[in-house]
Structure 1
Amino acid sequence: MKHVKNILSFMLMLMFSLTVFAGNVKLDLNAIYGATSFHTQGAMEFAKLVEKYSNGSVKIIVHPGGSLGFKGPELLKAVKDAQVPMSDILMGVVAGSEHVFGISSLPRLVSNFKEARALYEDCKPLYEKAALKWNQKFLYAAPWPPSGLVTKKEIKSVADLKGLKTRTYDKNGAKFLRELGGSPVSMPWGEVYSSLRTGVIDSVLTSTESAKNGKFWEVLKYFTNIYYAFPLNMVTINLDYWKSLSKDQQKAILKAAKEIEEKQWKNSEERYFSAAEILKKHGMVINDPTPELVKAMDKAAKKIIEEFMKKAKGKERKVLEKYVK
């Protein structure tokens, strides 16, 4: 079976190389969130910029909602094996394959956008190196607005979290909530709303932006600003596809990537506040955590970060030591 997959990948690359030789390139970009998502919209704008800067010679087709069939932990391998040329990837979800990609979703490591950007810039060379290891070129990354807890009941203390069935987006989030007495649940984003409706879960660890997109005011009441993390989504391209492009086409893609990265960082901060206002208009209550809850969260976060750092080596560990409080 592996031999057959290798042959198919070779045939796909051969067809692509012939297309590049002809001067026009079409690349599919797998987007794991729906068309209205902040990151999918960024990918769509990125595609427009690439077409513009390449004078129409490179066209990227964005496929929202994981419609190409790739949605989670398998994404690094899917791009590596050229099952899909490009993808938008939530870093924390693939941290099991590459440790360094778990940094942006470490709990309470940074507390604002300025710190999150500084952490990203320090980690970017590590992300680029890790992507190369997985046969792909790292193009850009941008954060979700900070993750909070969206719940049916108000969260004032650790006791309120006990047994709370919370959908989390990666292993760090699951460990964090488990330390606080919660019951983390892993599931695809597309199943979250119906699971809230049916009682499979009763809360979500996510951003104001995602809470807005999911219309969570219909099933939940409170958003607690716990500033859990500023998780990153990255866009990468299979390295064989990348090398098949002309130098001018590569320059066009990198120019577009740099531009959209800057814009998406600004958009993320703006959307944090604008989405919060929309949640309020629909009757949701937005609170800051109590001092008791802050103390408990910091204790849980410290334990998880310490465990993470045991596996960190060299430059990765050096970067983390700069931010560990």
Structure 2
Amino acid sequence: MKKLLVSAALATGLVATLAKADDAIDLRVMGQPMATGLIQKNLEQPFFENLAETSGLPLKVNYKAADTTGIKDTEQLRVLKSGMFDLISLRLSQVSRDEPTILGLDLVGLNPTYAAGAHTISQYQAVVDKRLQERFNTKLLGLWPFGPQVLFCNHPISNLEDVAGLKVRVYDQNLAKFVESIGGVPIPISFGDVHQSLALGVIDCAITGTSSANTAGWPEVSTHMLPIGFQLGMNGYGINLNTWNKLSDQQQATLQASFDQLVKDIWGYSEDLYKESLRCNVGEKPCDNLTSYDLVKVPVREQDLKTVSETVMKVSYPTWAEICDQSNPSCSAEWTAAMKD
């Protein structure tokens, strides 16, 4: 009888252990909006849909694109902190009003190239991650760019100075201040509303990445494109710390490795898309993966490049530092210390 009881106890323990091992961890994911294009469609969504299988982790992933949730992208950090979603593809400029520290990753003029953006991330990501963990119970799993954010107008322009007096769609306060500094009128409008706003003349110009604009049909309601990269369009993956802490150390390492690979893939794909979308938007070949349009490609002057480059210390940094230090007194000092290396 004693042996039977011991055997039963062992069997019960084994079943319980197996059941625990097989228990799936729910992962409610908010991705990028579908309207933003091929990064969301070809890399991000398939990654999450196959994550349980490719990682071997006990995950039950429920992925929803942001524009199918009814939730504004400006609310993403609050939503993540609340636990409504476990993991979100954060639109960093859009959530920066809740945490201005984030904007230090992509000040206007700071990241004119992909290489510059990668350097900024290597220096400053840890600072942003620490702040998000403290204030929003969120861990950063990785950062990536949509690509250079350029100017589209339905009004003839020949250089950056022609923006003076025009109404320009912006997506964060740093970009708004820059547009003001060159004489434009910044208008904050969500990405999904830009096409109609350009068509109706609510705005004259709008800024976004070249591939996102192509996918969203902006060239249908624009005439000119000025391909100067004001920002790099940084985005990131954030996971609720409660969800993260459900994982063992080994599981955390496995999940982080999966995101490291995804982010690496997106960086390469983003640069390829940028080059192709520059061609497609103005009717040049080859154009195999996007829609071909016939925008006027405005020549980039050295003076315009100089204006954007000089805006970092003249406009974007001081404007951001003042705002950020109000909510995070050590903000600008931490940015300066991180970026000096």
TMscore range, shorter length? 0.7 to 0.9
Task: Indicate which of 288, 294, 303 corresponds to 2:305.
Answer: 294
**Cα offset, 1:90, TM superposition:** 1.5
- For structure 2, which runs of at least 5 residues remain unmatched after alignment? 1-18, 284-292, 326-330
Residue 315 of structure 1 is matched in structure 2 by: 334
- Whole-Å Cα distance in 1 between the matches of residues 200 and 20 of structure 2? 50
Residue 305 of structure 1 is matched in structure 2 by: 317
**Cα offset, 1:59, TM superposition:** 3.0
Matched, 1:76 2:87: no
- Whole-Å Cα distance in 1 between the matches of residues 20 and 174 of structure 2? 41
**Cα offset, 1:149, TM superposition:** 0.6
- Whole-Å Cα distance in 2 between the matches of residues 171 and 21 of structure 1? 47
Q: What is the TM-score normalised by the length of structure 2?
A: 0.81
**Cα offset, 1:95, TM superposition:** 2.0
**Cα offset, 1:159, TM superposition:** 4.5
- Whole-Å Cα distance in 1 between the matches of residues 333 and 318 of structure 2? 15
- Whole-Å Cα distance in 2 between the matches of residues 316 and 45 of structure 1? 35
Residue 270 of structure 1 is matched in structure 2 by: 272
Residues 167-197 of structure 1, C-alpha deviations (whole Å, 9 max, x = no match): 1111111111011111111122111111111
Q: What is the TM-score normalised by the length of structure 1?
A: 0.85
Residue 86 of structure 1 is matched in structure 2 by: 87
- Whole-Å Cα distance in 2 between the matches of residues 206 and 270 of structure 1? 16
**How do 1:223-234 residues align onto structure 2 when only pairs under 5 Å count?**
223-234=225-236
Count matched residues.
304
Residue 27 of structure 2 is matched in structure 1 by: 27
1:292/1:118 Cα in 2 relative to 1: closer, same or farther (>3 Å)? Answer: closer
Matched, 1:115 2:116: yes
Contact in 2 for aligned 1:138/1:236 (Cα 8 Å)? yes
**Cα offset, 1:305, TM superposition:** 1.5
**Cα offset, 1:304, TM superposition:** 2.1
Task: Indicate which of 180, 195, 198 corresponds to 1:178.
Answer: 180
Contact in 2 for aligned 1:53/1:252 (Cα 8 Å)? no
SS at match of 2:72: coil
- Whole-Å Cα distance in 2 between the matches of residues 76 and 150 of structure 1? 29
**Cα offset, 1:249, TM superposition:** 3.5
Question: Max radius of gyration: which structure?
Answer: 2
- For structure 1, which runs of at least 5 residues remain unmatched after alignment? 1-18
Residue 206 of structure 2 is matched in structure 1 by: 204
**Cα offset, 1:87, TM superposition:** 0.9
Percent identity over the alignment is 22
1:315/1:92 Cα in 2 relative to 1: closer, same or farther (>3 Å)? Answer: same
- Whole-Å Cα distance in 2 between the matches of residues 114 and 194 of structure 1? 34
SS at match of 1:73: helix
**How do 1:158-173 residues align onto structure 2 when only pairs under 5 Å count?**
159-173=161-175
User: Once superposed, what is the RMSD of the aligned Cα atoms?
Assistant: 2.3
